[in-house]
């Protein structure tokens, strides 16, 4: 009986060893397979399984076996990962997604800046193509400007133009939706961008400081309510004209819908990037009856509801 048991045990051990060797050989060969990936990838927060599923949906050739193998190495890092190259073995891929972190650069989108000049900034700082950035933006953004919120972003080195625009636009749209739900208890994309973000972009261009934002907002609401032209210089600082001084010649020659000296109502869409403060001002204008304002020599504005007083303020601001 003991002999029989030992015989079976020996057979079992031999089969186990053979299977282990076969399995080891297969896994070793499997880990040596070449895998093609983007140079920079994004791994969402969550479990190993959800991370691997997200990578698979992103077009990386992964199987159920990979889920178990990567757990032997560690846990996938959340966030943007710089893989360093686009072709590597499956084993190298597992090591890099569990051990590597992308080197990041801080990029600041200044409030009031247009996307055209922001793309020029990105192309210089991240060695990207500004035309490709614009094309990628147009593919994913619902409006020509004002979608990407003005703030500081941590951008991984090596991110492509397409991935960068997807990240900036998707992140910003989530923030827009969150703010709209918070203040309006709803999110209507057309209303949000064509009214509130467009107003916020004008406020950003016109206000001398944060405290003036609700006052400029009130002027916009009051003039629209009375059917008056907005007649605001800032609306002409769109696209590549972001930093140009608005002159009588520019006002006369610009025939676009952004010229609020000629066209009634708001421009067709936002003209620049905005901050949360500008959006809040657009949603909650100051409770004042102001219709006019002019910049003083100190950079602040003199507000009034009287055209007569406004003319006096203009005269004061022009004195040497």
**pLDDT bucket at 45, cuts 50 / 70 / 90:** confident
CA distances from 213 to 106, 112, 151, 300, 303 (A): 27, 13, 18, 11, 12
Say yes or no: 218 and 171 in one domain. Answer: yes
Higher model confidence: residue 307 or residue 41?
307
Last residue of a domain, one of 102, 133, 166: 102
Say yes or no: 73 and 174 in one domain. Answer: no
| Nearest CA among 197, 187, 188 for reference residue 283 | 197
Say yes or no: 91 and 177 in one domain. Answer: no
Whole-number Å distance between alpha carbons of 135 and 28: 43
Give the model confidence (pLDDT) of 275-296 as tens digits.
999 999 999 999 999 999 998 8
Give the model confidence (pLDDT) of 95-132 as tens digits.
888 887 766 788 999 999 999 999 999 999 988 999 99
Say yes or no: 112 and 227 in one domain. Answer: yes
Q: What is the total count of domains within the chain?
A: 2
Does a structural domain hold residue 196? Answer: yes
Q: Which structural domain range is residue 79 located in?
A: 59-102
Say yes or no: 158 and 220 in one domain. Answer: yes
**Is pLDDT at 258 greater than 80 in this prediction?**
yes
Q: Please state the pTM of the whole predicted model.
A: 0.76
Q: What average pLDDT does range 202-231 have in this prediction?
A: 96
Does a structural domain hold residue 16? Answer: no
| Nearest CA among 285, 277, 312, 274 for reference residue 296 | 312
Does a structural domain hold residue 145? Answer: yes
Q: Which helix (H) or strand (E) holds 5?
A: helix 2-31
Query: Token match 């990037």: residue?
Result: 273
**DSSP secondary structure string for all residues of 113-148:** --HHHHHHHHHHHHT--HHHHHHHHHHH-SSSSS-S
Q: What average pLDDT does range 285-311 have in this prediction?
A: 92
Q: Please say whether the beta carbons of 261 and 229 come within 8 A.
A: yes
Say yes or no: 217 and 108 in one domain. Answer: yes
pLDDT of residue 23: 47
Give the model confidence (pLDDT) of 1-27 as tens digits.
656 655 555 656 666 655 555 545 655
Q: Please say whether the beta carbons of 247 and 87 come within 8 A.
A: no
Say yes or no: 83 and 141 in one domain. Answer: no
Say yes or no: 229 and 86 in one domain. Answer: no
With pLDDT > 90 as the criterion, what percentage of the chain qualifies?
56
pLDDT of residue 63: 82
Does a structural domain hold residue 275? Answer: yes
With pLDDT > 70 as the criterion, what percentage of the chain qualifies?
90
Q: Please say whether the beta carbons of 128 and 251 come within 8 A.
A: no
Q: What average pLDDT does range 45-69 have in this prediction?
A: 82
**Is pLDDT at 312 greater than 60 in this prediction?**
yes
Say yes or no: 67 and 169 in one domain. Answer: no
């Amino acid at each position: 009986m003991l002999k029989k048991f030992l015989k079976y045990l020996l057979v079992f051990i031999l089969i186990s060893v053979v299977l282990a060797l076969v399995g080891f050989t297969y896994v070793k060969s499997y880990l040596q397979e070449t895998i093609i990936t983007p140079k920079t990838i994004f791994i969402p927060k969550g479990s190993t399984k959800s991370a691997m599923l997200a990578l698979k949906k992103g077009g990386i050739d992964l199987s159920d076996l990979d889920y178990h193998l990567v757990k032997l190495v560690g846990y996938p890092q959340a966030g943007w990962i710089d893989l360093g190259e686009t072709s590597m073995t499956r084993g190298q891929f597992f090591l890099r997604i569990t051990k590597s972190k992308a080197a990041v650069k801080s990029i600041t989108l200044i409030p009031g800046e247009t996307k055209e000049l922001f793309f020029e900034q990105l192309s210089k700082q991240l060695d990207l193509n500004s035309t490709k950035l614009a094309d990628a933006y147009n593919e994913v953004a619902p409006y020509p400007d004002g979608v990407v919120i003005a703030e500081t972003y941590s951008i991984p080195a090596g991110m492509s133009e397409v991935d960068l625009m997807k990240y900036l636009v998707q992140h910003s749209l989530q923030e827009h939706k969150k703010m709209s739900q918070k203040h309006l208890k709803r999110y209507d994309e057309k209303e949000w961008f064509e009214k509130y973000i467009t107003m916020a972009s004008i406020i950003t261009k016109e206000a001398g400081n944060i405290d003036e934002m609700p006052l400029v907002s009130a002027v916009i609401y009051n003039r629209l309510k009375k059917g008056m032209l907005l007649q605001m210089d800032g609306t002409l600082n769109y696209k590549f004209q972001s930093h140009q001084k608005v002159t009588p010649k520019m006002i006369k020659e610009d025939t676009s819908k952004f010229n609020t000296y000629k066209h009634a109502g708001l421009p067709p869409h936002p003209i620049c990037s905005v901050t949360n403060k500008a959006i809040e001002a657009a949603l909650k204008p100051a409770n004042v009856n102001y219709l006019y304002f002019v910049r003083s020599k100190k950079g602040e504005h003199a507000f009034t509801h009287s055209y007569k007083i406004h003319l006096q303020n203009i005269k004061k601001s022009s004195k040497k």
